[in-house]
């Protein structure tokens, strides 16, 4: 199960057999399905599509296949080359393009790649649109352009600079305020495009940058998911350099994590909490995060007089809920900041600028800032799935077991207890069940997760 087709795109491992992995044939088929859908959706014979990729090893190969397929459909392509997910999202409306594709498998290891699909606003497709593309790919009913009608390719490698300019234009970002603070920051760019984009932004803001793994070779120096167990090097480096803090991003730069000045994790969940604290302190409004995110955002939002709502997991769901709730900031607890004044997409560059403003205005250390927030601890665990497991039946059994508690089923099963919660859901991107818990201590969060895992295994007959 290494080719995962979902409404948000197609993700798989490189190599192997067609339809089981992300092979060249699968890349072409899904690019053709997207282009075919886009032609009908845009009602244009001559479409323009923006393409960008992270630095992973298979990126250039997949990009060549996708670009050529779109050209074969008659689409004009704006090729950003090495880019970031939020950069492509910003480029689509700026270029007045009809859609976009980002070639990245986000936080997945180097053997993975993916096609992430955007609409004309630079936002991810909704479920109905994604389902149409999956159906088109299944049928392989494509109508390619005649030779005189082939598309063209224009290369534009300036968009990371354009993206930085867009961040500097935001009303709550003031370059001089950040410059005066004289920050020194360590950046771990996991040898992908964040190693280019984040240092460039920081230097533009007058921040002294210490680079760690910022060469975009695609050779990830550690597991690219920005979790504590993968980040020993930067934690050590922040202390050694006596830096104010550290910044870690994933390969496509839509997730953002900070390391405090003492070398401890600030906590991915608290990236959104801190950025929201700054924005809500300047502008009254509401927030949204997903069901797997910390209660701390709710607490901070209410402190500032706003209202908080939870959405199903998935960026498209969070964005829909943000629009419905008129949220002025939102995102996901995995370090994904969505700030509508910029665009409706998770953006580590925007998050970095907002966090720098908060620190510049508050003063003090990052460790002190973290200590000032409501203290919750999360455990994020997973159970590997086997093909014979009936996941839906497992989740139903867990729902029934805890039916007397406050239970939500809008996305998997979330059980809210008085002092803690657990959220069980099938991953869209990997063959696993994710088990997220949150409690007032790490021991309690881990213990609750282990208890739930044991109960699931018992129900599944794995014990």
CATH of residue 447: 3.30.310.50
Residue 273 is classified by DSSP as H
388 and 250 assigned to the same domain: no
Kindly state whether residues 252 and 282 are assigned to the same domain: yes
- Residues 116-148 as b or e (16 or more Cβ within 10 Å = b): bbbbbebbbbeeebbebbbebbeeeebeebeee
Q: For residue 222, what pLDDT is reported?
A: 96
330 and 384 both lie in a single domain: no
- For CA atoms 19, 87, 270, 368, the dihedral sign is positive
Number of structural domains (the chain) is 3
CB 86 within 8 A of CB 338: no
Any idea what the Cα angle at residue 429 is, between residues 423 and 432, rounded to 5°?
55
Asked if 109 and 178 sit in the same domain, the reply is no
> Which of 326, 355, 372 is the endpoint of a domain?
372
Q: What contacts 338, CB < 8 A, 6 or more positions away?
A: 315, 318, 319, 322, 329, 330, 331, 344, 345, 346, 347
Phi first, then psi, for residue 243 (nearest 5°) are -80, 160
Looking at the fold, whether 110 and 145 belong to one and the same domain comes out as yes
**Spatial separation of the C-alpha atoms in residues 42 and 40, rounded to whole Å:** 6
Helix (H, G, I), strand (E, B) or coil at 410: coil
The string over 407-430, giving b where at least 16 C-beta atoms fall within 10 Å of a residue's C-beta and e elsewhere, is ebeebbbbbbeeebbbbbbbeebb
Has 106 been annotated as catalytic?
A: yes
Residue 371: how many other CB atoms lie within 10 Å: 11
- Count the neighbouring beta carbons within 10 Å of the beta carbon of residue 54: 27
Block residue for tokens 């077991």:
401
**Last residue of some domain: 343, 372, 401?**
372
Is the CB of residue 11 less than 8 Å from the CB of residue 105?
yes
Q: Which DSSP category does 214 fall into?
A: -
List helix spans (H) across 205-314.
Answer: 232-240, 268-282, 296-303
The DSSP bridge pattern shows strands 432-439 and 421-426 to be: antiparallel
> What is the separation, in whole angstroms, between the first and last Cα of the chain?
24
| pTM reported for the whole predicted model | 0.92
Q: What is the CATH number of the domain that holds 271?
A: 3.40.120.10
Q: Which residues contact 30 (CB under 8 A, 6 or more apart)?
A: 9, 10, 115, 133, 137
**CA dihedral (34, 38, 39, 44) positive or negative:** negative
| Residue 342 shares a structural domain with residue 426 | no
Residue 279 shares a structural domain with residue 331: yes
**308-311 and 286-290 as β-strands: parallel, antiparallel, unpaired?**
parallel
d(CA 69, CA 144): 9
Buried b (16+ CB within 10 A) or exposed e, 180-192: ebebbbbbbbbbb
262 & 386 share domain:
no
C-alpha to C-alpha distances, 2 to 75, 142, 264, nearest whole angstrom: 29, 25, 34
Residue for token pair 């460039």:
200
Residue 232, C-beta contacts closer than 8 angstroms, at least 6 positions apart: none
Residue whose token pair is 């020993």: 232
- How many secondary structure helices (H) and strands (E) does the chain include? 15, 20
Both 120 and 8 in one domain: the answer is yes
Asked if 169 contacts 320 with a C-beta cutoff of 8 angstroms, the reply is: no
Check whether residue 199 and residue 316 sit in a common domain: yes
Question: Which of the residues 42, 106, 289, 292 is marked catalytic?
Answer: 106
**pLDDT tens string for the chain (463 positions)?**
478 887 678 999 999 999 999 999 999 999 999 999 999 999 998 999 999 999 999 999 999 999 999 999 999 999 999 999 999 999 999 999 999 999 999 999 999 999 999 999 999 999 899 999 999 999 998 999 999 999 999 999 999 999 999 999 999 999 999 999 999 999 999 999 999 999 999 999 999 999 999 999 999 999 999 888 999 999 999 999 999 999 999 999 999 999 999 999 999 999 999 999 999 999 999 999 999 899 999 999 999 999 999 999 889 999 999 999 999 999 998 899 999 999 999 999 999 999 999 999 999 999 999 999 999 998 989 988 777 788 888 899 999 999 999 999 999 999 999 899 999 998 876 778 999 999 999 999 999 999 999 999 888 877 6
> Which of 156, 180, 215 is the last residue in one of the domains?
156
- In this structure, the answer to whether residues 53 and 168 fall within a common structural domain is no
Tell me: do 79 and 200 sit in the same domain. Answer: no
Domain that holds residue 419: 377-460
């Amino acid at each position: 199960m290494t080719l995962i087709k979902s409404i948000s795109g197609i993700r798989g491992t490189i190599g192997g057999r067609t339809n089981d992995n992300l092979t060249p044939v699968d890349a072409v088929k899904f690019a053709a399905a997207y282009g075919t859908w886009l032609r009908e959706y845009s009602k244009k014979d001559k479409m323009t599509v923006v393409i960008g990729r992270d630095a992973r090893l298979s990126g250039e190969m997949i990009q060549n296949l996708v670009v050529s397929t779109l050209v074969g459909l008659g689409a004009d392509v704006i090729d950003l080359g090495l880019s970031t997910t939020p950069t492509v999202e910003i480029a689509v409306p700026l270029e007045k393009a009809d859609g976009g594709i980002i070639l990245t498998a986000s936080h997945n290891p180097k053997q993975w790649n993916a096609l992430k699909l955007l609409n004309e606003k630079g936002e991810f497709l909704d479920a109905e649109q994604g389902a149409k593309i999956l159906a088109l790919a299944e049928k392989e009913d494509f109508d390619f352009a005649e030779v005189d009608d082939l598309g063209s390719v224009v290369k534009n490698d300036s968009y990371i600079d354009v993206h930085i300019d867009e961040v500097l234009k935001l009303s709550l970002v003031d370059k001089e305020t950040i410059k005066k603070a004289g920050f020194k920051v360590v950046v771990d760019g996991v040898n992908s495009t964040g190693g280019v984009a984040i240092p460039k932004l920081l230097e533009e803001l007058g921040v002294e940058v210490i680079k760690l793994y910022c060469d975009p070779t695609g050779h990830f120096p550690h597991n690219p998911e920005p979790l504590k167990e993968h980040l020993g090097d930067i934690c050590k480096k922040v202390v050694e350099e006596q830096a104010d803090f550290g910044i870690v991003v994933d390969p496509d730069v839509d997730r953002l994590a900070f390391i405090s000045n003492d070398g401890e994790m600030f906590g991915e969940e608290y990236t959104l909490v801190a950025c929201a604290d700054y924005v809500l302190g300047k502008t009254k409004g509401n927030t949204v995060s997903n069901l797997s995110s910390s209660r701390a955002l709710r607490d901070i939002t209410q402190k500032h007089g706003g209202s908080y709502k939870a959405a199903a997991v998935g960026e498209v769901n969070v964005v829909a809920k943000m629009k419905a709730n008129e949220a002025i900031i939102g995102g996901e607890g995995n370090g994904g900041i969505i700030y509508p004044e910029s665009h409706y997409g998770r953006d580590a560059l925007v998050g970095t600028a907002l966090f720098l403003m908060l620190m510049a205005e508050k003063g003090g250390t990052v460790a002190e800032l973290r200590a000032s927030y409501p203290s919750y601890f999360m455990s994020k665990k997973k159970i590997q799935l086997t093909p014979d497991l009936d996941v839906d039946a497992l989740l139903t059994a867990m729902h029934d077991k805890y039916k007397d508690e406050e239970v939500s089923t809008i996305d998997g099963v979330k059980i809210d207890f008085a002092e803690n919660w657990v959220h069980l859901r099938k991953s869209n991107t990997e063959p696993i069940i994710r088990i997220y818990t949150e409690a007032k201590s790490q021991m309690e969060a881990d213990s609750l997760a282990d208890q739930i895992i044991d109960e699931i295994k018992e129900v599944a007959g794995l014990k």
